[in-house]
C-alpha cells in the first residue's frame, strides 16, 4: 500500500464528513454532476479518486453560479481530459442520500467528445480508463453500476443514487 493510499484509507472518511458539514452550513443543498462517457464501442470512462474508494463516473460538485453543463464540462476536463464536442443528454436527476440528505446528482450521457490522451495520475485521480460494461473493475461503486445498467442495459431508472 502506497503512502497516499494509506492516508486516503485513514483520513478519507473524516475529510468527507468535514467537507459535507461545511457544504451543509454554506449551502442549502448540494448539487453534483456525473457523466456516462461512452466511446464508439460503448466502453464507459471511469475514474478512481485518491480520497474515496472505488471506481466512479467522472464528475463532481456544481459550484455557486455555475450551470450543470458548465460543471460537467469542467469536471470532465479536470478528471479525464475529455472535451465535449456535442450536446450531452440528461439521463436523470438522482437523490444521493448516502452522502447527505441534501445532495442531488444530475447524470448526463456523453457520446460526442474528444480526448487527446489519458491524464497522468495526480493528487485527485489515481487511475482512469474506458471499460466494457461487462468487465468493470471489481470495486466499481453500486451507484455507478446502476447508472451504467440504466444507460446501456435498459434497466429501470431508480431515482436514488444508492
Using CA atoms of 147, 108, 14, 27 in order, give the dihedral in degrees to the nearest 10: -130
What are 66-109's pLDDT values in tens digits?
999 999 999 999 999 999 999 999 999 998 877 677 789 999 99
Could you tell me which of 156, 158, 37, 21 has the C-alpha nearest to residue 102?
21
pLDDT reported for residue 110:
98
Could you tell me which of 106, 110, 102 has the C-alpha nearest to residue 33?
106
Residue 32: strand pairing partners: 61, 105
Residues whose CB falls within 8 Å of the CB of residue 152, separated by 6 or more in sequence, listed in order: 38, 42, 44, 133
Residues whose CB falls within 8 Å of the CB of residue 122, separated by 6 or more in sequence, listed in order: none
Other Cβ atoms closer than 10 A to 158:
15
Average pLDDT score over residue span 118-131: 91
Architecture of domain 3-153: Alpha-Beta Complex (3.90)
pLDDT reported for residue 25:
59
Q: Record the pTM.
A: 0.81
What are 1-47's pLDDT values in tens digits?
666 566 566 777 777 677 666 655 555 778 999 999 999 999 999 99
Could you tell me which of 121, 135, 110 has the C-alpha nearest to residue 57?
110
| CB 145, CB 116: distance < 8 Å | no
Amino acid at each position: 500500500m502506497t503512502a497516499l493510499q494509506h492516508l486516503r484509507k485513514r483520513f478519507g472518511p473524516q475529510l468527507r464528513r468535514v467537507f459535507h458539514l461545511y457544504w451543509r452550513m454554506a449551502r442549502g443543498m448540494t448539487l453534483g454532476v456525473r457523466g456516462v462517457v461512452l466511446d464508439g464501442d460503448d466502453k464507459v470512462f471511469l475514474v478512481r479518486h485518491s480520497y474515496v474508494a472505488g471506481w466512479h463516473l467522472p464528475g463532481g460538485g456544481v459550484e455557486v453560479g455555475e450551470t450543470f453543463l458548465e460543471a460537467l464540462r469542467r469536471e470532465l476536463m479536470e478528471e479525464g481530459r475529455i472535451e465535449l464536442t456535442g450536446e450531452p443528454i440528461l439521463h436523470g436527476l438522482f437523490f444521493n442520500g448516502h452522502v447527505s440528505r441534501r445532495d442531488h446528482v444530475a447524470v448526463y450521457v456523453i457520446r460526442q467528445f474528444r480526448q487527446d490522451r489519458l491524464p497522468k495520475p495526480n493528487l485527485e485521480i489515481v487511475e482512469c480508463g474506458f471499460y466494457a460494461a461487462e468487465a468493470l473493475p471489481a470495486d466499481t461503486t453500486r451507484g455507478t453500476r446502476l447508472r451504467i445498467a440504466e444507460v446501456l442495459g435498459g434497466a429501470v431508472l431508480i431515482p436514488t443514487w444508492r
